A = this chain, B = another copy of it.
Amino acid sequence: MNKKPLAGLAALLPLASCAPKAPQQPNIVFFLVDDFGWVDSSVQYGDELYPNNLRFNTPNMQRLSERSTVFGNAYACAVSTPTRTSIMTGMNAAHTRITNWTSAVKDTPSDATGGGFWMAEHKGSGDAMEGDVLSRPDWNMNGISPVPGVPYTQYANSMVQYLKDAGYFTVHVGKAHWAAAGTPGVNAYNHGFCVNIAGTMAGMPRDYSGLQNYGNTKERWNDFAVQNLVEYYGTQTHLTEALTREAFKALDYPISHKQPFYLYLASYATHTPIQPDERFAQKYRDAGMDEGQAAYASLVEGVDASLGQVLDFLEEKGIADNTVVIFMTDNGGNSENKQKGGVLHTQNKPLREGKGSCYEGGIRVPLMIYYPGKTKVGKCNVPVICEDMFPTILDIAGVRGYETVQELDGQSILPLVTGVGEGPDPERPLVFHYPHKWKPYDLKDIDFLSAVRVGDWKLVYRIAEGVLELYNLKEDIGEEHDVAAENPDIVRRLADTLSERLSRWNAPMPVVVQTGNPAPLPNEI
């Protein structure tokens, strides 16, 4: 139970929905992109523009960045569901114990150990196969739940429910991916959303094209087929475009009724399948990119166009001045998928590796926040993390003194945007934990990693190998120079910090096949 009153106010029960709303409640748009990397746009999140930044045409992200607080050290989890559930719960993923993506099918581990989700009929156990050193951990593979007692879930109060209780009209559009089918957590209406368009158990779209009915076609299992878009079947409407249009329809009611809204617009792009968005792909081909690179860049530009449409829409409706826009990604860019073209394991350079990894390429993500009339425009380098979104969004909405069944780990970063009040300590530890095998093939810089960042220092625990690495991110953003040997005290301090968190949170740990015991904590090796 989180009983500590936030913002210094006495704890109160959630406000009844019919309570009169404060007139100053701003609208909030949370624009969450999928698998979209830190250098996958023309926006400069780092200290410089990197060569990878030059691949993309993203004028609308640029436009938003020029009025926003741009976070250069923003973090998410290594994969989708943990980030999305951390946003909803305010908890670190090691704490929700939702450390991997949730399968479409209930009670089915997505771990690649032993096949897991990847085996035929999705009936794999995730247990180790011959030759594996580690087996999958016991984790909350069914995701979050708004009610207690559902196996393999984290029971938690949703941030969105508090918004709704405070009078917000709450709209979900796009990818949800909080929970497996057949559980209450998979249903956006159970988390306080008033409208849900296309949010299901799916972590990816079966198809981006309206011509393919977004995957709703014969003889394809439609767990990942996108729902609620029948209007566009058989048309050339790209999924990103269709979702954007539907979002605007859903906002008609609150805008007409002058009620504050929360729009969670979570594009399926730029997740695999990396299919070209033909509205934009040709110019990237013409620029000499290979087909995968061009397809990926076109998906990015589709997202950029969607963001532009949102910004235009807010202006046309006369509500741009009272609408906070948050732009973020759920994890780092995918760097191990051949569909994206280019050279594997380089797409997030200067960051090391990509999605799935606890190296920076997997977890450092774009984040910008625009609060009209209150934004400290420019770069902020204080490290922040996805679970901060829960208290931050409620802070923006003016929701105070709420109680939650779960213990919150995030902190409001609103002071970093407005310059008013005290933001998170730049030295607070941020924990990343991916105790899983991601794919049916080995990915040494992705599988079974855990990490903590404290200030400029970052400890990476390679669980399978029992190795601790130390990096100074200020000097070595690419994590190329392990300085653990030279800094044993810092290693020990960070290992203790990480161990204390993992232990306190009862974080999932992979099982050592040889002993049947959980892998040791970092300060136990």
Contact = CB atoms under 8 A, between A and B. Distances in A.
Interface of A: 16-18, 105-106, 164, 167, 169, 181-184, 186-187, 189-190, 194-196, 200-201, 213, 216-219, 221-223, 225, 227-228, 230-235, 246, 249-250, 252-253, 256-259
A181 B235 CA distance: 10
Contact of A182 (B106, B195, B235): B235
A237 B217 CA distance: 25
A221 B221 contact: no
A521 to B, nearest CB: 36
A102 to B, nearest CB: 12
Given A16-B256, A253-B169, A217 B228 contact: no
A337 B304 CA distance: 52
B231 A190 contact: yes
Given A18-B256, A190-B249, 14 more contacts: A16-B256, A17-B252, A18-B257, A105-B234, A106-B233, A164-B253, A181-B234, A187-B231, A194-B250, A216-B222, A219-B219, A222-B225, A227-B227, A228-B228
A263 to B, nearest CB: 14
B231 A182 contact: yes
The 10 closest A-B pairs by CB, nearest first: A17-B256, A187-B231, A182-B234, A181-B233, A218-B221, A227-B227, A189-B249, A182-B233, A181-B230, A194-B253
Contacts of A216: 222-223, 225
A294 B39 CA distance: 62
Nearest to A219: B219
A184 B231 contact: yes
A258 B167 CA distance: 12
A219 B219 CA distance: 4
B230 A17 contact: no
Nearest to A222: B222
A232 B200 CA distance: 12
Copies in the complex: 2
A189 B228 CA distance: 10
Contacts of A252: 17, 194
Contacts of A196: 228
Contacts of A201: 230
A59 to B, nearest CB: 29
A253 B18 CA distance: 9
20 contacts: A17-B257, A18-B257, A105-B234, A106-B234, A181-B213, A181-B231, A182-B230, A182-B232, A182-B234, A183-B231, A184-B231, A187-B230, A189-B246, A189-B249, A190-B231, A194-B195, A195-B195, A200-B230, A222-B225, A228-B228
Nearest to A164: B253
A145 to B, nearest CB: 11
Nearest to A223: B216
Nearest to A246: B189
Given A17-B256, A221-B217, A231 B186 contact: yes
Given A183-B231, A195-B195, A227-B227, A219 B217 contact: no
Contacts of A235: 182
A184 B231 CA distance: 5
Contact of A258 (B18, B186, B221): B18
Contacts of A182: 230-235
A332 B436 CA distance: 57
